[in-house]
A and B are shown apart, each in its own frame.
Chain A
Amino acid sequence: MGEILKTINLTKNFGGLSAVVDVNFVVKKGDLQSIIGPNGAGKSTFFKLITGELEPTRGQIIFFNKDITSLPQTAISHLGIAVSYQITNIFPMLTVFENVRVAVQSRKTTFNLWSKAISHKEFVEQTRHILEQINLSDFKDEIAANLSHGHQKRLEIGIALATQPKLLLLDEPTAGLSPMETRQTIELIKKIAQDLTIILVEHKMKVVMEVSDRITVLHYGKLLAQGTPDEIRNNEEVRRVYLGGVKI
C-alpha cells in the first residue's frame, strides 16, 4: 500500500542542541508504526514537527504526496493529522462531552454565531460514538479536570479521534497508567488501528512489540534502526543502546 507520510532529512535544532537529526521516515497507509527511544531522543519533537507546532530547521515532510513542511498547524490539522499529547492537554473546565464535541465541530464550523451548538445532531452523534469508543460515556457530564489521570489520558485520545484524522500520532498514551488501564488502552489502540494509520511513541516494550507493524528506533535524534518487531528485537545495536542488553 501507499505511503501516507514521509520525512526527508528532517532536522530540528534548539540552539546548539539537535533534537532531531536527518530523519528519513516513512509510514505506510494502514500501518501501526511505533517509535521507540530513550527519554530525550526527540520523539515528541518529531511529532511536533509533523503537526506543524514546531518549524523544522531543515528537511521536508510529505503527507499524501503533498509537501506540508511549512504549512501552519491548523492547516495540517485540517489535512487530517491529529495528535494525542504526552502531557495531558485537554479543556480542563469543560465537560468530557464538550471536550470531544468541540473537537468534532472543528471539522465543520467555527464562526457560526446563531444556531445552537447542541442542535447540530451530527456533532452530538459523533461525540457519543467517540465517547463509547474511549469508554467514557458514563462520565460525559463530568468536568474534565475532575477525571482520574487514566481517564484524562483516554479523553486525550478521544479529542484527537474527534477530528477524524487520517493519521493519528499517539505520544506515550499509556504513561502513568495502571496495568489494568494500560490493557484497556492497548485494546483501544488495536481497535482504532483497524481503520486508521497510527504512529505510536511508547516506552513499554511489551506494548510496542504486541501492537506494532513496524518499529523505528531513535537515539539522540538520529534514526538508529527500522524494521518489524522481530527485526528490532534481534538487532544487536538496538539492544546495546536502548534495551540495555536485555533480551526481550
Chain B
Amino acid sequence: MIGRLTMKETGIGETFGLGNRELRVEKVGWWQRLVELVSRNPLVFIFIFFIIFPFVVPYKALATQIIIWGLFALGYNVCLGYTGMLSFGHAAYFGIGAYTAGIVLIRLWQNIWFSLLCGLLMGGITAFILGYLCIKRRGIYFAMLTLAFAQLLYFVGFQWVDLTGGDNGLRNIPAVPLSIFGLSINIYTPLRFYFFVLVFVASSLLAINRILQSPFGHVLQAVRENDQRAKSCGYETSNVRWMAFVISGAISGLAGGLYALYLHFVGIESLYWTTSGQVVMMTLLGGMGSFIGPFIGAGVFLYIEDTLSVITPNWMIFLGPVFVLCVLFFPAGIWGTIKDLSTRRRK
C-alpha cells in the first residue's frame, strides 16, 4: 500500500503528554512524493537539475543569468528568509562585487579567481560597514537605511567616472582565460561559462547549507522567530544579525563578480535601487522559506522578462501584476505553495 501515515490530535480530551491520536492513511500522488523528496534533499535535486538546466532553456546564456541571479537571491535570503531582515539595499553588495571584480581584472591582476575573491570580500566588507550602521534599527527603519546607503553608493559610482566609468558603465572587462593547475582554459563559450558559474553557485550552496545547519544557523532562526527571547537567552542578537548581513553581502558580492564576468561589463544600474527591488521580488516570488525558492523566483522572473522584453520594452507592466497576485494569493511563494499543496492534510 502506498500511503502516508499522518497523526492528528483530536484535541479536547488531550491531557498530559499523551493525547488522543488518530491514525489515518492517505493516498499520495507521485508529484507529492516528488515534492517531499526534493524538500528533503534539496541540494541533490538542485545539483541534478542544474546539470540538465542549460539544455532545456531557450538559450544557454539565460541559464547562466538565472543561476547568477539565483545565487544573489540565495544570499539575499540569508537576510530575509533566515534572519528576518528586510533589506532594500542589496544592490550595494551586488554592485560593489561587480565593480570590484571588473576593476581588478582591468587594472590590477588578470586572474579570474582573484577577481571573484575580491568581489566576494568587498561585498562582505561593505556589508560589514553598512550593516554596523543599519543593524540597530528594525523593520521599516532598517529597510529605509539599507536603501539610503545603497543609493549613496549609487551616486558615488555615478560620480566617480575615472574608476567606474560613471553613466557609461565599466567597459572592456577582459575575457581572461581561466588558469587552473597551470592550464589556461577559455571559458567564454556559453556552455563552459555556465558550468564555470555553476561551480561557484554549487560551492556557495554547500557553504550556506552548512552554515544554516551550524549552531550559528540555528541562532539565526531563533532570532528571526523571536529576537527578544533570543536576547533573553543571552544571545547578542544584533551581532548575530550583523554577521548574517555580512554573509549575505559576501554572497551577493560574489554573484555581482560573476555577473561582471558574464557581461564583460558593469552597468551603473547594478548599484541602483531597481536591482535591490529585483532581488526582493525574485525571493518573494520563489518563496523565502527554502533553498530552492530563490532560484525558482530568479528563473521565473528572468524567463518572463526574457519572453516579454522581445514583445514590449514595458515588460514590467506584465510582470508587476504577476508579482502582486503572487504576494496576495501565494504568500509562501511558488515553491512554498507547491510544498503546502503537496503536504496539505485532508480535513
Contact = CB atoms under 8 A, between A and B. Distances in A.
Interface of A: 51, 53, 73-74, 77-78, 82-83, 89-94, 98, 101-103, 105-107, 109-118, 120, 135-139, 148, 159, 162-163, 180-181, 184
A73 B238 CA distance: 13
A163 B234 contact: yes
B268 to A, nearest CB: 34
Interface in B199-218: 210-211, 213-218
Contacts of A138: 17-18
B343 interface: no
B226 A91 contact: yes
Contacts of A91: 221-222, 225-226, 229-230
Contacts of A74: 231, 234-236
A102 B232 contact: no
A92 B16 contact: no
B36 interface: no
A105 B14 CA distance: 31
B15 interface: yes
Contacts of B217: 113, 117
A132 B201 CA distance: 43
B234 A102 contact: no
Interface string B1-36: 000000000000011111000000000000000000
B15 A180 contact: yes
A183 to B, nearest CB: 9
A40 B68 CA distance: 56
Interface residues on B, range: 20 to 34
A110 to B, nearest CB: 6
B243 interface: yes
A93 B214 CA distance: 18
B240 interface: yes
B16 A180 contact: yes
Contact of A115 (B214, B219, B229, B233): B214
Most buried by A among B211, B214, B217: B214
Contacts of B229: 89-91, 159
B186 interface: no
20 contacts: A77-B231, A89-B226, A91-B222, A101-B218, A103-B233, A105-B215, A106-B233, A107-B234, A109-B215, A110-B219, A110-B235, A110-B239, A110-B240, A113-B210, A113-B216, A116-B213, A138-B18, A162-B233, A163-B234, A181-B16
A120 B216 CA distance: 12
